[in-house]
Amino acid sequence: MLSRLRVAFLNCLSASSRRFAASVVCVGILSNSAFAESEVQTVLRGLVNPSSVSFSPSGELTACDARGLVVVLKGDQPVNYVTGFDTEHWKSNDEGKKWYAVGPLSAIWLGETLIVTDAGKVDGEETLLFFDAKGKADSGVKTNAVPPTSDDPADKGEGNLTGMSLSKDGSTVYVCGQGFDGKSWVLSADTKSKELKPLLSADDNGIETNSPMQTVVGDANTLYVLYSGKGGEAGGLIVRWNLSTKKPSGQWTLPGVINPMGLAHIEGDQFAVVENNWSLEQTNAGRVLVATLGEPGEAEIKETGISLNGPVSCVFGPDDRLYVSQLGEEFDEPVGSVVAISGLKD
């Protein structure tokens, strides 16, 4: 049976709409969880396969769209801030049909500069692009691409760059690479020199869970990285990396969580985790959860009671609400949205 909230979303999102529409139209109150009351509001809809969500210094919601767009919500109006990114597809068949389009996958702000992963190109050609103003993708200042890091013929270089975060001094961008599962990398880029290079290797440190999805900068020169694992399986992992030694200083499995993709720090050792429940054939219901890390080993997972349709990325906004992007009921249609969830930081 569909949850009360999911039914509300399906009624509110129109597959025939081809324009962006910013609104606060769907509201749900959930209380069947460890969190007494969480309010969920749709704040942006009409997106195609949305991925990253972030905020500008002035508090403007920023989202990536698979049509090769980065959208900024100015007041209650969505603006196509940067357009013209390349798009590729993750799936095709023998008849030439393609589906699940991918464009820019992550966008974050460094002051008034927007940094975007040019993730619609083929592996080994993707870069980060820096924009000082609204415009076209080809106006961005780019980093280098990262070529293959192994001798395996399947290794084409780093691609599907996603999950960016910034060091506290703004000098370094951390980004997850999805080029080759046999060599899972977290990359770093110098924001001045624009040099992009491999930084942290899961495989070189005995970490078998692949697909890094999101980075979160921690205290004491540490970086938390969320690994999604194999599609359709419960095998997610959070690794805390020591950036000085480039070695793990803690690892936590996420029991029962299928393909987590979003990670946002709440406080202390608590993090919001978005479960995508990945499939290339259809979008699936996924959950918004809270993970308490504690001692390395198995994280404590608490239900918020919130289920969304293909949730992908999350970030806390200036208002302390958790903003989550979701694919909607099908790929490649303008039925994706961003919702805001209150109560997780109360």
Q: CATH no. for residue 245?
A: 2.120.10.30
Q: What is the C-alpha to C-alpha distance for residues 165 and 179, in angstroms, rounded to an integer?
A: 19
The tokens for 147 are 């070529």
CA 285 to chain centre: 16
Q: Is residue 346 part of a domain?
A: no
Segment 263-295, tens digit of pLDDT: 999 999 999 999 999 998 999 999 999 999 999
Question: SS3 of 11, please?
Answer: helix
For residue 166, count CB atoms less than 10 angstroms from its CB and return exposed for 0-12, middle for 13-18, buried for 19 or more: middle
For residue 234, count CB atoms less than 10 angstroms from its CB and return exposed for 0-12, middle for 13-18, buried for 19 or more: middle
Higher pLDDT, 7 or 274: 274
User: What pLDDT was estimated at residue 304?
Assistant: 95
Query: Under 8 Å CB-to-CB from 171, ≥6 apart: which residues?
Result: 190, 191, 192
Q: What is the C-alpha to C-alpha distance for residues 8 and 29, in angstroms, rounded to an integer?
A: 11
Q: Is residue 22 part of a domain?
A: yes
Q: Is residue 144 part of a domain?
A: yes
Q: Is residue 97 part of a domain?
A: yes
The rounded radius of gyration (Å) of the Cα atoms in the chain is 19
Percentage of the residues of the chain whose pLDDT score is greater than 90: 81
Segment 10-56, tens digit of pLDDT: 333 333 333 343 333 333 334 344 555 679 999 999 999 999 999 99
Q: Is residue 32 part of a domain?
A: yes
At residue 113, does pLDDT exceed 60?
Answer: yes
CA distances (Å), origin 234, targets 136, 171, 230: 39, 35, 8
Buried b (16+ CB within 10 A) or exposed e, 242-271: bbeeeebbbbbbbeebbbbbbbbebeebbb
* The residue to which tokens 């890094």 are assigned: 212
Number of domains in the chain: 1
Q: What is the pLDDT averaged over residues 216-241?
A: 96
Q: Is residue 269 part of a domain?
A: yes
Q: Is residue 191 part of a domain?
A: yes
Q: What is the C-alpha to C-alpha distance for residues 177 and 212, in angstroms, rounded to an integer?
A: 7
Of the pLDDT bands very low, low, confident and very high (cuts 50, 70, 90), residue 148 is very high
Q: Are 195 and 185 in contact (CB under 8 A)?
A: no
305, containing H or E segment: strand 300-309
Higher pLDDT, 215 or 21: 215
Q: What is the pLDDT averaged over residues 111-127?
A: 97
For residue 35, what are the domain limits?
4-341
Q: Is residue 243 part of a domain?
A: yes
